[in-house]
Amino acid sequence: EAEVAQSPRYKITEKSQAVAFWCDPISGHATLYWYRQILGQGPELLVQFQDESVVDDSQLPKDRFSAERLKGVDSTLKIQPAELGDSAMYLCASSFDVLAGSYEQYFGPGTRLTVT
Amino acid sequence: GIQVEQSPPDLILQEGANSTLRCNFSDSVNNLQWFHQNPWGQLINLFYIPSGTKQNGRLSATTVATERYSLLYISSSQTTDSGVYFCAVGVTGNQFYFGTGTSLTVIP
CB-nearest partner of A103 from B31, B40, B101: B31
pLDDT in tens, B43-96: 999 999 999 999 999 999 999 999 999 999 999 999 999 999 999 998 876 778
Local confidence band at A85 (pLDDT 50, 70, 90 cut-offs)? very high
pLDDT reported for residue B53 = 98
pLDDT reported for residue A98 = 67
pLDDT reported for residue B93 = 60
Across the interface, do B48 and A102 touch by the CB < 8 Å criterion? yes
A112 vs B contacts (CB less than 8 Å): 41
B4 vs A contacts (CB less than 8 Å): 42
Q: Is A49 on the interface with B (CB under 8 A)?
A: no
Q: Is A109 on the interface with B (CB under 8 A)?
A: yes
pLDDT in tens, A86-112: 999 999 999 976 667 778 899 999 999
CA proximity to A5, closest of A67, A105, A72, A92: A92
Q: Is A42 on the interface with B (CB under 8 A)?
A: yes
Per-residue pLDDT averaged across A77-82, rounded?
A: 98
A8 vs B contacts (CB less than 8 Å): none
pLDDT in tens, A16-74: 999 999 999 999 899 999 999 998 899 999 999 999 999 999 999 999 999 999 888 99
Helices (H) and strands (E) in chain A, counts: 0, 11
CB-nearest partner of B94 from A41, A96, A107: A96
Across the interface, do B42 and A50 touch by the CB < 8 Å criterion? no
Within 13 Å, how many C-alpha atoms sit on residue B38's CB side?
Answer: 11
Q: Mean pLDDT in chain B?
A: 94
Q: Is A111 on the interface with B (CB under 8 A)?
A: no
pLDDT reported for residue B90 = 87
Cα distance from B24 to chain A (closest Cα, Å)? 15
Q: Is B56 on the interface with A (CB under 8 A)?
A: no
DSSP string across chain B: ---EEEE-SEEEEETT--EEEEEEESS--SEEEEEEE-TT--EEEEEE-SSEEEEETTEEEEEEGGGTEEEEEE-S--GGG-EEEEEEEESSTT--EE---EEEEEE-
Across the interface, do A42 and B86 touch by the CB < 8 Å criterion? yes
A41 vs B contacts (CB less than 8 Å): 100-101
Per-residue pLDDT averaged across B22-42, rounded?
A: 93
Q: Exposed, middle or buried by CB within 10 Å (0-12, 13-18, 19+), for B57?
A: exposed
Question: B3 near B87, Cβ under 8 Å?
Answer: no
